[in-house]
Amino acid sequence: MGEPNSHVLFFPYPLQGHINPMIQLGKRLSKKGLTVSLIIASNIHREPYTSEDYSITVHTINDGFFPHEHPHAKIKDPPRFNESTARSLADFISRQKLTGNPPKALIYDPFMPFALDVAKDLGLCVVAYFTQPWLASLIYYHINEGTYDVPDDRHEDPILASFPGFPLLSQNDLPSFACEKGSYPLIFKVVVSQFSNLRRADCILCNTFDQLEPKVRLYNLNGDH
């Protein structure tokens, strides 16, 4: 993946807070001589274009929704988004593999775990990039593993939560999805399902802030550090 002119695909979840970190990483790889394509799942088709400030070509693929539907409709209907976008992504990668510079890797947002399976089945190296702070992602990981139970409701005296490598956190310190069971069911399912097939990834990257998370010890999926 690191050879000059190697083609790398980036596939962020289509919200600005997830797209921006992908673009920043793409810019760095582009400066190293790699060919970078950014794939956006959208209900509006646009012709591919290459940014003027950095050599990243932006492509849109169909997310299964109509142009008149609100962009947030995909959050309310995850099965429709996942199934349609998975097909579109598979078609896009298949077409790209027939070009003069076929992609060698996909860097994807784990908010869309189907992307890992699609790219793996098509023979690409696959990298998971957690664009949210690693502290939040690790909490979601423990929820998925069953090593942390989301409280049924908010307590007047917030309970304490303990995670490996963390200081003790109060209930109010946790991400909103981890504070009260059933508070945001659709989004909760998205953030927890990030880990459903993560062991198939060839590499895992995380977004972090070294000045805010100096004592966090990053554990891999086997519990080692």
The rounded distance, in Å, linking the Cα atoms of 180 and 158 is 11
Q: What is the pLDDT of residue 114?
A: 98
What are the distances in angstroms from CA 43 to CA 16, 38, 74, 81, 207? 15, 16, 10, 10, 28
Looking up tokens 């990668």 gives 93
CA distance 216 to 200: 25
Specify the CATH number of the domain 7-207.
Answer: 3.40.50.2000
Residue with tokens 């209907």: 77
Question: CA-CA distance, 5 to 30, in Å (whole number)?
Answer: 9
- Position 101 scores a pLDDT of 95
Give the active site residues.
Answer: 18, 109
> What gap in Å lies between CA 40 and CA 61, rounded to an integer?
6
105 three-class SS: strand
Helix, strand, or coil here: 212?
Answer: coil
Predicted TM-score (pTM) of the model is: 0.85
Per-residue pLDDT tens listing for the chain (225 residues): 556 689 999 999 999 999 999 999 999 999 999 999 999 999 988 999 998 777 899 999 999 999 888 777 887 888 999 999 999 999 999 999 999 999 999 999 999 999 999 999 999 999 999 998 888 888 899 888 888 888 877 666 666 788 877 778 887 788 877 887 877 788 888 899 999 999 999 999 987 766 555 555 444 444 444
User: Number of C-alpha atoms within 13 angstroms, CB side, residue 6?
Assistant: 13
Q: CA-to-CA distance for 204 and 37, rounded, in angstroms? A: 19
For tokens 């945001």, the residue is: 184
Residue ranges of domains in the chain: 7-207
| 14/70 Cα distance (integer angstroms) | 13
